[in-house]
Structure 1
Amino acid sequence: MTFPAFLRRSRPLADHSADTRMLLLAAAALVIGTGGALGAWVLIKSIAVATNLFWFGRLSASPAAITDNALGLWLVAVPILGSLIVGLMARFGSDKIRGHGIPEAIEAILYGESRLSLKVALLKPLSSAISIGSGGPFGAEGPIIMTGGAIGSLFAQAFHLSAAERKSLLVTGAAAGMTAIFGTPIAAILLAIEVLLFEWKPRSFVPVVVGVLTAWLWRPFLIDVGPLFPAHHSLALDAEVLGIALIVGILTGSQAALLSSLLYKVEDQFVRLPLHWMWWPAVGGLAVGTGGLVDAHVLGAGYDSIQGLLSGSLPLRAAIALLVIKAAVWLVALGSGTSGGVLAPLLLLGGSLGYLLGQLLPGGSALWALAGMAGILSGAMRAPLMAALFAVELTGDFTMLPLTLAASVGAYAVSVLVMPRSILTEKIARRGRHILQEYTVDPFEFLQASQVMTEGPETLSEKMTVAEAIAFFGGQARHRSYPVVNHEGALRGLVSRSDVLCWRVGVFRDDVTLAQVLEDVSQSQGSPNDPIARLADLMVETGVGRIPIVEPVSGKVVGILTRHDLLKIRHVHRGSEVTRSRGAPPLHKQVQ
């Protein structure tokens, strides 16, 4: 049976084993990885076509440098025109094409059941190509993450998949697209883990890796071979150099925090404009064009400038212009709501700071541009492992990984201390949805019923009559429900106060025993070794707030688990994060 036919069966995929689901998703990742690579190729060619049309008036998909234009003062009009087109596309096409791309993908994953539309898949790369091609100071990574994610989501929506499985394929497409653009497979996988997946499970990890490797294999045929910005550094890494890298990371982390704060202040100013948001990108385009008059290096994605930073060949004046003017035009343009990514601009801004610091540091300016790039990505995106690997994969110089890791950690620490959220999640938080990027182990998954339950619970005998039960719940009962057991202590069922209220209206004769009442009633129960998560799900499914815990062999009731016990687990787990002492009992002892 073919993969698509299998998925189209009316029986839900959840009926099959987790291993089978993982393999099916991995098979789908082959298709999605190919789609992500093709999407990256289309995006790159579209940017080239737009660049040639806007700046040189020719129809060509050949690479073109904006700095070669001869428009003079008319240069200002080009970014305005491109931004106006993007505003119209967002207004009359889909407003989801506005912004970075990555926050929108995160929001779709967490709040939209990982569903993206065909309209977004088509309009996002087109709008980004127009924006970047007309001089917008953005990169292609945000758009390709959104586009690749849409490819994965659309493929998943064609079959009977759960929201979690759609998420795996959406992220697979996003990571595949990033790999095809930059040739950074490991960093793309880490971006998926640190920023997009919000989990670490084989079900998601394996398809992402398969999709990334598929895109990486396609890349030489569609885009390029080897590192995007090849470079090699010969400086020996010792304690002094790594210490300097840590300081550079702290500085670029502070830079990331400042840029993030300024970006959202700029957004707030645009909201106050007496204009419909469709016109905001054109206002941003005016700022871009003005910056381009000062120095044309600030226009477009700036990949040539990144290469100049990493090779050490960029003039000092251009580096200063990138650090100041590029930052200004990028903040205004992105704050206006136009379409474009944050990754390439951050590389330029962090790299420029590192480049300038490198004038005074050992090893040369190119080395510290590399450290600055890793640092600012880590600080802005809260993805330190991705940032460290991304920088070295871009250059192919893996010997510098300890240096980029030191810079990433320094920037990450500063970012966490001074920023409540990353530059990505802040955008989502401003819509009232607060997201944490920290991973923790769910205590419900590793604790067992025997560690949390109330041992030796009070029980009722199956020989008790209905009249006696009514009298018991009318006066002596301390709980809302009780397990009913036979003479050997084996579970017969559960009787609650609400049951007794029904009996009072004459449902059963007073002399009927509980054994007779419960004769045909099935009872939810757990065993001492059951994970708490399973029993919590059982409570939700059955609507019963007290689950008897029974020995599997003897059938005897050995404990009871209540909703209150589950709340205590949450409270104690939270306390373990904030309460400090010389020693404390294990979590399950604190619960009891």
Structure 2
Amino acid sequence: MFEKAAARLQFLAYRFLLVTLIGAGALTGVVAVLFHRYVELARNQLIGRALRQPEPWRVILMIVTPAIMFALLAALIRRFAPRAVGANLARVRMAYNDNPRILGPRTIITTFAATPLSLGAGAPLGPEGPIVVVASGISVTLARLLRLPQKVVRGMIPIGTAAGIAAIFNTPITGVVFALEEIIGTSQRGILGGVLVGSVAAAVVERVLLGGRPMLVAPSSTWTDVREMAGFAVLGIAAGAASGLAISLAHRLKRKWSAAMPSIVLRAALAGLLIGAAGLLAPEIFGIGYDSVSLWLHGGGSASGTGIAFAVKLLAFTVAISGGVIGGTFAPSLFIGSALGAAIGHGTQDLFPSMHIDPKAYAIVGMGSYFAGVMRSPIAAVLIVVELTRDYELIVPLMLGVSLAVAISRRISRLSIVEQQMVDEGWIEEHAANDPLARVRVRQAMTTNVVTISRDTTIEEIARLIAGTRFTFYPIAGDDGTLAGIASRSAIDNAVAEHGGESIMTIAEEPKVVACAEDLITETVQQMHLRGVDRCPVVESARAPRIVGFLSPSDILRMRMRSGTAEPDPFELIE
């Protein structure tokens, strides 16, 4: 009797959970449709209106509109929901790995309200990252309102991710695979079932409300000459190089902007001015840009026109990501990749007219290759192109381009754009959290009682000063305490006999790595490994490079021994 009652309760619990998953997916589909409409309205009223104005107002408004709107949105977000700025997918991953409360109501509302205004003002980004945040947040909130167990609340995050991708792109399979590749990291049985249910529910709602039309319609494309595989390989390499450089440049630019301009409002305004100016060269870079992508997928455009669009969009995308402009990375990846592919396709066609090159085939392969290079989700990259275009003829060259793009991009930037954003925002992946040094800052491990020498001191004076000390390198300070170089103990000992009266700067070296006190120690160690050194000076910040310490192997070892390891938290939605 008792066993029958327990079985009955378990059956009712599973049925209740299934209804919850379907409800979350369906609600996500409705929200995605509303989001689409909101973006279209905002674009028509903001950057669209600017583009319709006569000269010179057209030029003025194209530059001013993004700057003003981006600054206002940055101020709004800083005031009401600081976590809603920047790295959308990074927030979702952190919520799943660490704290689902990151996706709170304030974040959901602000993201939904602000992103269409940002895209409507000309942000060269996309809607999918913010929709994933909103969808995951809605799913988590629904689970909390129903007082479901904490493990179910956490499991609703990848379910919301899959439903969001499925709804915004009408690609249910890609939604499932992307959630597995980007959020879960492994196809756990329980979560996979929920992800499938949520993705299907969202896609069904989207199909009912919008008719289920593919977002990017492409005519059938094919390839017949085996020599074309060389062209597709070149395209994959180019896409990998472009995506890796975009990730690296965005990271470096963000750090420099943050140091030189601490105000997110000013950074967003400057980004808006630069994006507006870039739009004067290629207005199609404003917003999502699917009209242009569709044109290229139909074989339209020219080598020069698509080449300019590729370069300008890549630059604008990098500036937007660096400046904290709100938006996603999917749509610009598809735009940049298809523009690059169309440029190479049209260029190859002009050079080799006898080969009957089909430029639209290159646009399709380029779209998937660049996406894979940026996101490092190769299976999702292949599937999203197939589901968006419903063209299966280019699977082989697409897989070639994707694999080469991922390999080349990884050589240039070790992290994907989402992982790099997590590092930039100070968030660490779960697998990194198990490393005792993952959350340690350089200031926590460095030696502070370093012997600092003045740049005006002679080598002989330095030799007397460091007698009896144990350090291998000594930082050299300028008059204001800023780092002017380093001098090795061996160089000082070798020079003191013949050049003792000369300034220490005659044997000074430029340090190969300089760490900031707030840098993550794991990042600094990786940089030292790449540059072939095992220690480096530490400064207060890039903006204020005053010497505050030195980091050596013994400091790192000491910190590792002091730090404890965290046990992983295994999770399964349905046991």
Normalised TM-score (structure 1)? 0.66
Q: Distance in 1 between matches of 2:18 and 2:431?
A: 25
> Counterpart of 1:133?
120
1:376 is aligned, of 370, 377, 391, to: 370
2:260 is paired with a residue of what secondary structure?
coil
1:151-166 → structure 2 map (5 Å cutoff): 151-166=138-153
Q: What is the CA deviation profile of residues 257-306 of structure 1, one whole-angstrom value per residue up to 9, with x for unaligned ones?
A: 01100111111121023442232211111111111222211111111111
Normalised TM-score (structure 2)? 0.68
Asked if 1 retains the 8 angstrom alpha-carbon contact of 2:303 and 2:344, the reply is: no
1:78-227 → structure 2 map (5 Å cutoff): 78-113=65-100, 115-227=102-214
Matched residue count: 416
2:152 is paired with a residue of what secondary structure?
helix
Q: Which amino acid aligns with 1:424?
A: V
Q: Which amino acid aligns with 1:260?
A: I
- Cα 1:236–1:24 shift into 2, 3 Å: farther
1:142 is paired with a residue of what secondary structure?
helix
Q: Which amino acid aligns with 2:187?
A: W
1:337 is paired with a residue of what secondary structure?
coil
User: Are residue 388 (structure 1) and residue 374 (structure 2) matched?
Assistant: no
Q: Distance in 2 between matches of 1:272 and 1:369?
A: 38
Q: Which amino acid aligns with 1:366?
A: K
1:425 is aligned, of 419, 423, 436, to: 419
- Cα 1:225–1:414 shift into 2, 3 Å: same
Q: What is the CA deviation profile of residues 176-234 of structure 1, one whole-angstrom value per residue up to 9, with x for unaligned ones?
A: 12212211111111110100112311211111111111111111332343211111334
Q: Distance in 2 between matches of 1:128 and 1:355?
A: 29
- Runs of 4+ that moved beyond 6 A: 19-22
Deviation at 1:31, TM superposition (A): 0.7
> Counterpart of 1:446?
none
Q: Which amino acid aligns with 1:218?
A: V
Deviation larger for 119-128 or 423-432: 423-432
Q: What is the CA deviation profile of residues 409-435 of structure 1, one whole-angstrom value per residue up to 9, with x for unaligned ones?
A: 111222333322111111112344443
Q: Distance in 2 between matches of 1:22 and 1:390?
A: 31
**Structure 1 gap ranges (5+):** 1-12, 58-65, 439-592
Q: What is the CA deviation profile of residues 319-363 of structure 1, one whole-angstrom value per residue up to 9, with x for unaligned ones?
A: 122211111122112211121011111111121111111121654
- Cα 1:147–1:316 shift into 2, 3 Å: same
Deviation at 1:90, TM superposition (A): 1.2
Q: What is the CA deviation profile of residues 493-522 of structure 1, one whole-angstrom value per residue up to 9, with x for unaligned ones?
A: xxxxxxxxxxxxxxxxxxxxxxxxxxxxxx
**Structure 2 gap ranges (5+):** 1-5, 350-355, 433-575
Asked if 2 retains the 8 angstrom alpha-carbon contact of 1:25 and 1:203, the reply is: no
2:334 is paired with a residue of what secondary structure?
helix
Deviation at 1:148, TM superposition (A): 0.8
Q: Which amino acid aligns with 2:297?
A: L
> Counterpart of 1:416?
410
Q: Distance in 1 between matches of 2:17 and 2:297?
A: 38
Deviation at 1:246, TM superposition (A): 3.6
Q: Distance in 1 between matches of 2:430 and 2:229?
A: 30
2:417 is paired with a residue of what secondary structure?
coil
- Cα 1:128–1:246 shift into 2, 3 Å: same
Asked if 1 retains the 8 angstrom alpha-carbon contact of 2:87 and 2:421, the reply is: no
Q: Distance in 1 between matches of 2:51 and 2:358?
A: 26
> Counterpart of 1:404?
398
Deviation larger for 275-284 or 252-261: 275-284
Deviation larger for 336-345 or 293-302: 293-302
- Cα 1:207–1:20 shift into 2, 3 Å: farther
1:321 is aligned, of 289, 304, 308, to: 308
> Counterpart of 2:46?
54
Deviation at 1:368, TM superposition (A): 0.7
Q: Distance in 2 between matches of 1:399 and 1:28?
A: 38
- Cα 1:49–1:226 shift into 2, 3 Å: closer
Q: Distance in 2 between matches of 1:203 and 1:147?
A: 23
> Counterpart of 2:58?
72
2:31 is aligned, of 30, 33, 39, to: 39
- Cα 1:115–1:157 shift into 2, 3 Å: farther
Asked if 1 retains the 8 angstrom alpha-carbon contact of 2:216 and 2:389, the reply is: yes
Higher radius of gyration, 1 or 2: 1
- Cα 1:335–1:274 shift into 2, 3 Å: closer
Identity of aligned residues (%): 23
- Cα 1:138–1:27 shift into 2, 3 Å: same
Deviation at 1:20, TM superposition (A): 7.9
Deviation larger for 187-196 or 429-438: 429-438
Q: Distance in 1 between matches of 2:113 and 2:174?
A: 25
